[in-house]
Chain A
Amino acid sequence: MIDTIFALSSGQPPAGIAVVRISGPAAFAAAEALDALPRTMRRATLRALRGQRGELLDRALALAFDGPATATGEDLVELHCHGGRAVVAAVLAALATVPGCRLALPGEFTRRALANGRIDLSEAEGLADLLEAETEQQRVLALRSAEGAISRAVQDWLSQVAMLSARIEVMLDYADEEDAGANDAEAIRSAMAALADQIDGAASAPPVERVRDGLRVVIAGPPNAGKSTLLNLLAQRDAAIVSPIAGTTRDRIEAPVVRDGRAYLLIDTAGLTQTDDVVEAIGVDRARQALAEADIIMWVSDQPSPHGEALHVHARADLPGRDHTPADRIGVRRDDPASVTALWEAIAAKAAALLPPADALPLRARHRDLCRAAVRALRDSPADPLLIGEHLRQARSELAAITGVDATEVMLDQLFGRFCLGK
C-alpha cells in the first residue's frame, strides 16, 4: 500500500492563507479524520477542522479531488487554512496521527505527478521551474531550460570530451595500428585544460537559484539602529515590529519582495551585540548565520562596516541632528520615498552583478556539481595515457549524467567515425 502524503504546499507561515495538501489512497480518510472532507468533489466548502479530541483546529476552505484527474494523479485534498504558524502546526500534527499518512518528502508531490503521468518527463525540470516562476527573469530562464539550452551546451561539451577520449582510446585500444598515430597525450591534456576552463566559466556564473529563490539581502548592525524600520520601508508593509526598545527583533524576519522583475528576500536580523540574555544571544547567532549566507549586506550603523562589500545605510536621516549623510553612506528618511527609491537603486546595482545575465545557462545546483566534477577530472590528469583515458571517462560520465545519454557510445561513434581502424 502506497503511503498517503501531506505537506504545507504554500509559503512559510505566517501568511494570509496556508494550503495543506494531502495526496494518496488515504487522502479522503485523512480529511474525514479531521472532519474536513467536503460532501461534493471539486467544490470549495467551509469546514471546521477538528483534532483527535474533537477540539477545533481551524475553520478552513476544503477541496477534494478524486483521482486520477488531479495534480498528482491520486486522490487529493486541499485545506486552505488560516496562515498562522500554530494553526498550520496543529493541522499537520493531526494529519500525522492518521494511519498510512506521513509528511511528504521534498519534491514528493511532483514525483507522484511524474510517476502518474501528470507531468511530462522530458522537460520536467525546466517546466517545474516555469510553473513556479514568479518573476519575469525567472520565467525567461526557466523557458530556456525547458527549451533545451542546457542540453545543447552539455552535448557540445560532451562531444568535445568524447573527441578527446576517442583520440586517447585510439592510442590505447588500437595500439598496433598505424592510425593510432603518434603519442599526442600532451596535446590532449592541453585541450582538456582549455575545455575545463570553458565548462568552469559556465558553471561559475552566478547560480540560477538566486533568480528562483530571491537574492538574500541581509539588514544588519548594532541594536536599535533602525534596521526593522528599514525593512518595513523596503517591503512597504509592517513586516517587522518596530519599537524604541533595543533588542526588539530577536529572530530573523524574512520578507520576500519583487521589484523590477527581480525577486529579493529581505532579512532583518537581531542587533549585533554582546549580551547575557540567552534568547537575544541566539538571535545574534542567527544574525551572524544570515550574514554568512547573504548575497547583499545592508549595514545599518553609524560605525564603519566590518563587511567591505556592504551597502552602508545612514538610517533615520529624518530625525533631528541626523540630516547630514556621510559621503560613503546612503541616507534614508521615513518621510521621503525618493530616499527609499535611491536605496533600491543601490541594491539593484549590486544585484545586477550577482544575478546571471539573461543569456546565461540556467544550470541548477545539481548541474553545477556535475560540471565542477567534470572540470576537476579534466584538470587533474597525469601524463600516463591510461590515466588520461580514466580522467576523460570520469568527465564524460559526469556530463552525461546531466542529460542522461550514453557517454561510451558517443565516444565510440567518434572513434570509428574519425579513425580508420580495424584489421
Chain B
Amino acid sequence: MFDVIVLGAGHAGIEAASAAARRGATTALISFSADNIGIMSCNPSIGGLGKGHIVREVDAFDGVMARAADASAIHHRLLNASKGAAVQGPRIQADRRRYQAAVKALMAVSGVTFVTGEVTGLDLSGGAVRGIVLASGERIATRALVVATGTFLGGRIFRGDERHSGGRVEERSAGPLAAHFRDFGLPMGRLKTGTPPRLDGRTIDWARLTEQPSDDLGWTMSALTPARTVPQIACAITRTTAATHDVIRAHLDTSPLYSGAIEGQGPRYCPSIEDKIHRFGDRDGHQIFLEPEGLDDPTVYPNGLSTSLSADAQRAMIATIAGLEQARITVPGYAVEYDHIDPRALAPTLAVRSIEGLFCAGQINGTTGYEEAAGQGLVAGLNAAAHANELTPVILDRASSYIGVMIDDLVLQGVTEPYRMLTARAEFRLSLRADNAETRLAGLAQRAGCVSAERLHHQQRSADQRATLRQRLDRSLTASDIQGLGGRVSQDGARRSAWEWLRFDGIDLDLIAPDALDGIDPAVIREVGEDARYAPYLERQAQEVATLRSEESIALPTDIDYAAIAGLSNEMVARLDASRPISLAAAARIRGITPAALSAVLLHAKRYAA
C-alpha cells in the first residue's frame, strides 16, 4: 500500500513522485523501463521564454528539473538578455545522458520506490482510486494516483505512409490504459506533435556554419547550484533553401499532415517544416538551430525541422541545407498523435473531479514541453500527497506563477492545440520573473512542507538579503547628489529615495548605492534592482492582484446545474459545465462569459445556497 503511485517517469512523473515524497508520502514511480527515467524525448534543451520561468518555479519548491539541468548543461543562453528581466528566459542545452543520470541520482535519494512494469488496469471501485493492476497481474494498492503517461496514451506514430503504435519511436504505447480511460467516461481528445530527424554530428560541415556560443553570464537554473561545472560547447545555425522547399513541396502528398491521416491538432507555435513552407511559402528560408545532444554523443538535434515526411523525403530535404549536404540521419523525424484528457475535467489541484484520488499531469492534459509537464507534475504530486494524508492542498493562482497561469488556463479554457507557455499568457508578466521565482513562491513551498533544510536555509538567507538591501535603498538623494555620482538626470530639485531614483533611465545600483551592496548576493542585487526599475508598474499589478484575489473569494459550488440557469446561451452552459469554475472570478475568465451571464450565475448560486 502506497500513499501515492505515479504512472510515467518523464518530466511530469519525476516531479510528481519527488514532490509527493518531499511532502512525506510513501510513493511509487512506475514505468515500462528504468531507461525511461527523465528521458528527453524531443529537443535537448530545458528552459526558454516562459519555460525558464517554470523551471525556476519548480526549483523554488525544491523540485528536480533545475538541478538536473545544471548538472548536464553544455550550453547556456539567456534569451532577451537586453530586455527587462520579466521576459528574460534562461535556457540550457542539456547533455542527454548526463541529464538522465542526474535525474536518476536525485531520485535515488528521494525515497521514491521505482517499479518496472506496464499498468494495464486501475481499481476505481466506488468512484475512488484503490490501486493499479500491472500486466503481470500484480495489484498494488494506493490512496492516490498521478497519471503522467505523456504521449503514450493511445500513441500512434506517423512518418510518410508508415504507421506505428507507440508514444515514442521504437517504444510501445499504453493501449489498454487508453481504452480504460475512455471507459471511465473522462472527456478525451486527440492532439499531435512532431520531432525532427536526428543527425550524426560527425557528418556535418561545421566550419561553414554560423556558430552560436554559450553565454558567459554565470547564471544557473537552480538557486542551489553554486556554479557551472560542465564544459560548454557551441551550437550552430543554418537555414533551409529554395531547393529544400522544392523537395518539401514535391513530397507534401506523402505527409500524413496533408493526407488527412492525422486528425489531432498540432501546435501553431511549433509548426512542422511542411507547415512553414505551406503557410509561409513566400519566405526564402527558415532558420535551423543545430543543437548537440551531448559531450560524448555525436547526435545533433536540428531544431526547426520537425517533420513527418517519409524517410526518403527527409534525406532529400537534409541534403539541400547548407552544411548538412553530407549529413547522415540517425533517426528520421516523425509525428505522433496521442490521447489527452480534456483538462477542464480537472480541479486546480489537477485532481480529476469525478474520480476521487486520481490526478493527471503533463502531456496527457494537453500541454507540450518538458517544463510545462514538470510544473504540473509538481502540483499534482503535492496535491496527491495532500489527498492521501489529509494535508492542505496547494493551489497556485495566476498572480503567483506561470504554473498558476498554465493550470488556470487548462482547467478553465481547455485546449485546442498542445498548450505551451508564452510570457504573453501571463497578465502579471511584469511581476512573474524568472529571477524572482523564489521570492514569489518560497513561502508557499515552505508552508507545503516540501523543501529540504538546505533549500530552506537558502531561501531564508535570500529573503533576509532582499529585506536588508531594500531597507538600505530608503536613503534619500537629490538630483545634485546623483549628478555628483556621475548620473545624468535633470535638475528638478526633488529629493527621492535611492529606490525611487532607480526607475530613471541610466541609474543603476552600482552608480547610486555601491556601498549598499556589501554582503549581498549578485542574484539578489539584480532582482531588487529590477523591482525598483519597474516599481510603479509592479505596484499597479499588486493592486490588480489584490482585486483578483478578493474576487476569488466568491466561491461557486462545483455541482451547479448550469442548464437550469435561465438566460445563459447553450454555448455558455457547455463551457461552464465543462470547467466547473470554483469561484465567480474563475467563471469570469472563461472565454465568452459576459458580465450579464456572471450576474445570472451569481444570483443562481446564492439562491442555491439559500
Contact = CB atoms under 8 A, between A and B. Distances in A.
A175 B79 contact: yes
A409 B89 CA distance: 22
A384 B83 CA distance: 8
Given A175-B79, A422-B270, A423-B303, A386 B610 contact: no
Contacts of A111: 599, 603
A115 B84 contact: no
Given A115-B567, A177-B287, A386 B304 contact: no
A227 interface: no
B566 A423 contact: no
B610 A1 contact: yes
Given A111-B599, A173-B50, A406 B591 contact: yes
Q: Which of B283, B568, B596: most chain A CB closer than 10 A?
A: B596
Contact of B84 (A2, A117, A384, A406): A384
Contact of A390 (B43, B430, B595): B430
Contact of B600 (A1, A114, A122, A404): A114
Looking at chain B, what size class is its interface with the partner chain?
35 or more
B594 A172 contact: no
Contacts of B303: 423
Contact of B422 (A120, A393, A412, A420): A412
Nearest to A407: B427
A173 B594 contact: no
A416 B276 CA distance: 11
A386 B533 CA distance: 12
Interface of B: 43, 49-50, 77, 79-80, 83-84, 86-87, 89, 267-271, 276, 279-280, 283, 286-289, 303-304, 413, 422-425, 427, 429-430, 534, 537, 565-569, 591-597, 599-600, 603-604, 606-607, 610
Contact of A172 (B80, B269, B569, B595): B80
B424 A420 contact: no
Which 8 interchain pairs have the tightest Cβ spacing?
Answer: A117-B566, A386-B84, A420-B280, A416-B268, A423-B304, A404-B594, A115-B603, A422-B270
Interface string A309-342: 0000000000000000000000000000000000
Looking at chain A, what size class is its interface with the partner chain?
35 or more
Contact of B593 (A404, A409, A421): A404
A174 B276 CA distance: 16
Given A111-B599, A404-B595, A405-B592, A173 B566 contact: no
A124 B422 CA distance: 36
Contacts of A422: 267-271, 304
A112 interface: yes
A114 B567 contact: yes
Contact of A397 (B304, B427, B603): B427
A173 B569 contact: no
A423 B267 CA distance: 11
Given A2-B607, A117-B567, A409-B591, 9 more contacts: A115-B603, A172-B424, A175-B79, A385-B84, A386-B84, A386-B86, A390-B537, A404-B594, A420-B276
Contacts of B268: 416, 422
Contact of A421 (B79, B269, B565, B610): B269
Interface in A381-423: 384-387, 389-390, 393, 397, 404-406, 408-409, 411-412, 415-416, 420-423
A242 to B, nearest CB: 47
A353 interface: no
A245 interface: no
Given A387-B537, A416-B269, A121 B569 contact: yes
Contacts of B427: 393, 397, 408
A55 interface: no
B423 A172 contact: yes
B80 A420 contact: no
A295 interface: no
Nearest to B594: A404
Contact of B289 (A1, A386, A423): A423
B298 to A, nearest CB: 21
A386 B429 CA distance: 9
Interface in A93-147: 111-112, 114-122, 124
A115 B289 contact: no
Contacts of A38: none
Nearest to B610: A1
B567 A412 contact: no
A2 B289 CA distance: 64
Given A121-B569, A397-B427, A112 B603 contact: yes
27 contacts: A115-B565, A115-B566, A115-B603, A117-B566, A119-B567, A121-B567, A169-B424, A172-B424, A173-B50, A173-B422, A174-B49, A175-B49, A175-B79, A175-B83, A176-B79, A385-B83, A385-B84, A386-B87, A389-B429, A404-B593, A404-B595, A405-B591, A420-B271, A420-B279, A420-B280, A422-B268, A423-B270
B596 A408 contact: no
B559 to A, nearest CB: 19
Given A173-B87, A173-B422, A121 B267 contact: no
A412 B591 CA distance: 14
A17 to B, nearest CB: 31
Given A172-B83, A420-B279, A121 B596 contact: yes
Nearest to B430: A390
Contacts of A176: 77, 79
Interface in A253-278: none
Q: Which of B269, B280, B425, B593: most chain A CB closer than 10 A?
A: B269
A124 B429 contact: no
Contact of A121 (B280, B600, B610): B600
A154 B184 CA distance: 44
B610 A2 contact: yes
Contacts of B304: 422-423
B50 A114 contact: no
Contact of B566 (A116, A385, A405, A412): A116
